[in-house]
Amino acid sequence: MLMLIYWLIPLVLFIMGLLTFVSNRKHLLSMLLSLEFIVLSLFLMVFIYLDFMSNEMYFSMMFLVFSVCEGALGLSMLVSIIRSHGNDYFISFNILLC
């Protein structure tokens, strides 16, 4: 029963993150925050899996490093988009209009 709770909580967090990512398509910052939430729920899943299998936690450290690099890259893209377009609305981007 306890193992089911350990796996159910990150799975619910992951699904909630996906729902917020799909429903928040107006601002780029809210989409980046929901992506970071999804990455943190995936990290929790990886950490629980490695803990149950009694493996070393080196992979979880590498996963955190790559997720921090991904977050920094997303924030730098957000800053460059705000500097060039003036806001972070998806409607104001000329590239995305079809």
Tens of pLDDT, residues 31-90: 889 999 999 999 999 998 888 888 888 888 899 999 999 999 989 988 888 888 777 777
Record the tokens describing residue 17, joined without a space: 């993150």
Q: What domains, with CATH codes, occur in the chain?
A: 2-85 (1.10.287.3510)
What is the C-alpha to C-alpha distance for residues 40 and 33, in angstroms, rounded to an integer?
11
- 8 Å CB contact between 27 and 88: yes
Q: Give the bridge partners for 27, in sequence order.
A: 89
pTM: 0.82
What is the C-alpha to C-alpha distance for residues 49 and 41, in angstroms, rounded to an integer?
12
Q: Give the bridge partners for 89, in sequence order.
A: 27
- 8 Å CB contact between 35 and 42: no
